[in-house]
Structure 1
Amino acid sequence: MEWEAPVLFFRHALDARGIRTPEDFLPPYRKAAERLGLDNADPAPKTVEGWIYEGRKPQRVFRPVIVEMLGYSIDDLWTEVPEGSPPNFVPLIDASPTALHADAGVELNEMKRTGAMAVRRAKDFLLGADRERVGDDTLGLLDDEVQRLVAVYPREPLSAIWHDLLETHDQVFCLLEGGRVRPSQLRDLYAKGAMLSFLVAKGFNDMEDRHQAMTMTRVAAACARDAEHPGLIALTDGLKSLIAYWADKPEDAYHYASQGAAIAANLRGTVGLWLLGLKARAAAVLGDEETVRTANQQASDRREHVVPDDLDQLGGLFTYAPEKQLYYSVEAEALLGHGGAQLAAQAEQAVMGFSDPTSPHWAFGDLAGSQCDLALIRLHSEDVEGTADAIRPVLDLPSTHRNNGIVVSAMRVRGALMRSPARSAVAVKELRAEIEAFPTSRRALPRG
């Protein structure tokens, strides 16, 4: 009986793009490598034949380019697809099932582009039409856009939403500056200004522009105070803590988290729990195990009494879901250098919490962070192979998703590998080299 290669999703992805042979494969491969800024040599035609016709999994040096080229993780691409069943994998970048079919995709994308231009013209008209005063339709339009941006921020690469975010931010501040706002509308507009400034500040932090991030966070805080919104005020302290945490300033991170936690002490929403989680993570970096335990226990106790508020209803970065609380708790333990089977099981549960992209609380950054934490905990348990398996999906992320927090998380694993008793092992050296190469190209992120 003749052996048949398994039908992989890789073949479906290639077929959808009209790629049938190694000769078809190499031009888009070279373009993907160029986007990543990589100079690695083309795979040999025989190698590509092995991938396409025999189902061989590519060597690690080729994987980032293939991921960039096709928009799916290596694990998804090399998953066998049962005959007769349509593949149902979620792309890592902006790709729809329709767009995978070249002819139909071109037509549909052009229709969307021209339609978006019409919507933009109409929106600009509406925003400028109320020259004497701001109308309810204008505020409703901004409500819709703020809700959309809050929802998509954790789910899409920053480059996909940055223009819309800045434009909406500018529109809100133009209205506030224009003097056309009724007193009854001011508080609502200032709240929108705080939310959008929060997202813009988070964007600058993702781009590793900490000065701009902190400046915009202070703008968000000022708007939150003018809106007289305690939850937003506390939220901006949390963002200051987050910026300091990723900048390796744990003392500042601890200070801002404590300050925000005090403001949120009597609030019933989840912002207070987020601040306690931030406080625990900062304390972990400082080696303060007692505060880690106390803060995480307080957050766990308060979870039982949460009453979702207006920020929780917005979702996105403005709510602190149980999945994220577990992720933060596990990260604090990982930062303390802890390992063991029980903690590894919790870390695996944290990763599973972000395994479904259709979940309302899914965020690619939280998924990558929890995977890096799992890698650290397995390394602390002297499981080098498990460490490599845990961080593999992170290293396979396309350049669009390599924001500052993900890069720092990956570098923490590299640092732990350098301190590991197994640091001289060949497998450890190879993994360290891969992580070192991870942040070298992030061209798809918008510039600060």
Structure 2
Amino acid sequence: MAGNARQGDPRTTLEFLLRQQPRTYEEIVREFGRLAEELGENVTLSSRHLRRLASGQRANTTPVMRRVLQQMFGKPLDELLAPWDGGALPAVDESTGLVLATGRPTADRELIEMAARRAKHFALVAGQTELTSDVMEQVHADVQQLAMDYPQRPLSELLPNLIAAQDTVFTLLEQQRRPDQGRQLYFLAGVTGGLLAKASHDLADPHAALTQARTAFVCADNADHNGLRAWIRGIQSLVSYWAGRTRESVRYAQSGTEFATNNTSSVWLPMNEARAWAALGNANAARAAIERAESAWDSVQEDEVDELGGLCSFGRTRQIYYAAETLSWLPSQAAVAGDYATRAVEAYEDSSSPEWAFGDQAGSHSALAIARIQAGELEGAEEAVAPVLGLTPEQRINGIIHCTQRVHRALRDSPLADAGADLQEQIELFTRTPLKSLPR
């Protein structure tokens, strides 16, 4: 075995996995070299470097080394170098060193997913100078699945695959491609960049989010795709809004309208603008933007971005939620905000709907709570926000934290402040453990 199991507990997940191998470090390093050659990667790994990685003494690797290690062990490098969590030892085939299926659904699924990733990567780099239609379809399908899953699953489940998808597309773009394939790859690079911008925002890192979005917009330019340009401007507007840069949010939304000629971003962009104007206290501009969004539906025709679904498309349910949140900023519109929020909450009750999104569902409940606070209905507000406060830390993305903080401020500034002290304490407890605080 690599290492000695009697030397104490493994210090990292990588060291744990290496100790299950019936091979020496030197043999594992040679296997790394064979895998790198098979993947077309020009990289070597020394036994000393591997030992230091496994012991936690070293964490720096080149991107190419990271890709091979991740393929070799079927886990993101951050997970491999993380402290070992003390889990039970898996069954190992003594002749091959491979982890055996345990009969547990989670373990078996991880093995299947690891095998699928390995097969897919081989197909992508197996000496091809021109990508086949099957390869292009696979990459497109992977990105589409991420777009569809993003609003409905915790980010921690998606982030490794999302990062891997971007890395795959960038790797393919680094090689000479036919113009039509290059355009499609740039399109997919723009989409993955937009999704990672949203992920960075969800982890409360607006700088990283806007960096990803700028690169995504460059990719959209290279793909010469107006619908993608418009969608990325929507992402930038969203990030700026939640970061408190409301005038910047307005500018991004307005600049995106020149590209939003036919896809659902022509509705999303003015709704983004409406939220930002409302946060600035400009009720007239907010209502005008809502009206433009509604009128835009008359000319909407779905394009390649909309066809990806999920986060890449803006539907009626999201529009209702955005309207509720917009109007909840304006005390004079409390009754209308409550009507919109009620409709949004009802629409998001169906978790099987393609439009269902746990973040927007939480936002709808928060908007309803604010409207009820403004109407003097403390019990109604408590009832509205209760499902949000029951979300696990893995679902406490940045936007949800901000929504609940808005409920807290609305209560603080209302005549219900003293009576609502318990609800304020519940919100404070909830916001102490956002997604960004969890170990990665």
TM-score norm. by structure 1 comes to 0.73
Query: Given the alignment of the two structures, is residue 388 of structure 1 paired with residue 382 of structure 2, yes or no?
Result: yes
Cα 1:445–1:178 shift into 2, 3 Å: farther
Q: Are 1:369 and 2:366 matched, yes or no? A: no
Q: Give the secondary-structure state (helix, strand or coil) at the position aligned to 1:118.
A: helix
**Hey, what's the Cα distance between the residues in 1 that align with 2:238 and 2:296?**
21
- Structure-2 residue corresponding to 1:83: none
Question: Which secondary structure does the structure 1 equivalent of 2:263 belong to?
Answer: coil
Correspondence for 2:262: 268
2:350 aligned with 1:353, yes or no? no
Q: Share of identical aligned residues, percent?
A: 36
Flag the 1:334–1:123 CA change in 2: closer, same or farther, 3 A. same
Report the counterpart of residue 185 of structure 1 in structure 2: 181
Is the partner of 2:174 in helix, strand or coil?
A: helix
Q: Is the 8 A contact 1:204 1:212 kept in 2?
A: yes
| Deviation at residue 111 of structure 1 after TM alignment | 2.4
Report the CA distance shift for 1:147/1:299 in structure 2 as closer, same or farther (over 3 A). Answer: same
Q: What whole-Å deviation, never above 9, does each CA across 1:401-445 have from its counterpart, x for those lacking one? A: 0000000000000011110112122xx000001101112123587
Contact 2:200/2:206, CA 8 A, preserved across alignment: yes
The Cα offsets for residues 275-302 of structure 1, whole Å up to 9 and x where unpaired, read as: 0000000000111111111111111122
Q: Cα deviation per residue 1:116-166 (whole Å; 9 max; x = unaligned)?
A: 222121111111114423222221110110111010000000000100000
Given the superposition, is the C-alpha separation of residues 105 and 423 from structure 1 closer, same or farther in structure 2, using an over 3 Å criterion? farther
Q: Point out where structure 2 has 5 or more consecutive residues left out of the alignment.
A: 1-100
Whether 1:172 and 2:159 are equivalent positions in the alignment is no
Matched, 1:415 2:409: yes
The residue that corresponds to 2:201 in the other structure is: 205
Q: CA deviation at 1:234?
A: 1.2
Are 2:425 and 1:429 equivalent residues in the alignment? Answer: no
Q: Is the 8 A contact 1:207 1:446 kept in 2?
A: no
Listed as ranges, the gaps of 5+ residues in structure 1 are: 1-103
Does the 8 Å contact 2:262/2:302 carry over to 1? yes
The letter for the 2-side match of 1:217 is: A
Q: Tell me if the contact between 1:162 and 1:446 (Cα under 8 Å) persists in the aligned partners.
A: no
Matched, 1:150 2:142: no
Q: CA deviation at 1:447?
A: 6.7
Corresponding position of 1:76? none
Q: Is the 8 A contact 2:227 2:262 kept in 1?
A: no
Q: 2:133 aligns with which of 126, 136, 139?
A: 136
Shift, 1:178, TM fit: 2.3
Distance 1:260 1:346 in 2: 26
* Distance in 1 between residues matched to 2:317 and 2:127, nearest whole Å: 43
Instruction: Answer yes or no: is the 8 Å Cα contact 2:328–2:334 preserved in 1.
Output: no
Contact kept? 2:327, 2:336, Cα under 8 Å: no
How much has 1:253 moved relative to structure 2?
0.7
Query: 1-side partners of 2:234 and 2:241: how far apart?
Result: 10
Residue of structure 2 equivalent to 1:64: none
* Separation in structure 1 between the aligned mates of residue 437 and residue 212 of structure 2, nearest angstrom: 18
Q: Residue 446 of structure 1: CA displacement?
A: 7.0
Matched residue SS, 2:300: coil
Q: Distance in 2 between matches of 1:139 and 1:200?
A: 21
With 183-192 and 297-306 compared, the bigger mean Cα shift is at 297-306
**Does structure 2 conserve the Cα–Cα contact (< 8 Å) formed by 1:224 and 1:233?**
yes
Distance 1:256 1:105, change over 3 A: farther
Does the Cα contact within 8 Å between 1:311 and 1:319 map onto a contact in 2?
A: yes
**Separation of aligned partners in 2, 1:442 and 1:406:** 9
- The one-letter code sitting in structure 2 at the alignment partner of 1:435 is I
Does 1:235 find its partner at 2:231? yes
Whichever residue aligns with residue 228 of structure 1, its letter is D
Shift of 1:210: 1.0
CA distance in 1, matches of 2:116, 2:241: 40
RMSD value, Cα: 1.8
2:251 is matched with: 255
Question: TM-score, length-normalised on structure 2?
Answer: 0.74
* Distance change (3 Å), C-alpha of 1:446 and 1:220: farther
The higher relative CO (CA closer than 8 Å, separation ≥ 6) is in: 1
Q: Deviations over 1:342-396 (max 9, x none)?
A: 5423211111111111001000000000000000001111111111110000000
Is contact 1:208–1:404 with CA below 8 Å preserved after alignment?
Answer: yes
Give distance in 1, aligned partners of 2:373 and 2:265: 32
Whether the aligned pair in 1 keeps the contact of 2:398 and 2:435 (CA below 8 Å) is: no
CA distance in 1, matches of 2:196, 2:438: 12
Find the counterpart in structure 1 of residue 395 from structure 2: 401
CA distance in 2, matches of 1:369, 1:415: 15
Aligned length: 340
- What is the deviation of 1:341? 4.5
**Distance in 2 of aligned mates of 1:446 and 1:415:** 25
Deviates further, 334-343 or 372-381: 334-343
SS of the residue aligned with 1:436? helix
How far apart, CA to CA, are the structure 2 residues paired with 1:189 and 1:165?
Answer: 15
The answer as to 2:432 corresponding to 1:440 is: yes
> Match for 2:296 among 269, 293, 302?
302
**Cα distance, 1:107 vs structure 2:** 2.7
Contact residue 162 and residue 196 of structure 2 kept, 8 A: yes
Deviations 1:298-342 (A, max 9, x none): 111222332222222211111110011111111111011245555
* Structure 1 residues 293 and 314: CA distance shift in structure 2, 3 A: same
Q: 1:446 to 1:434 in 2, by over 3 A?
A: closer
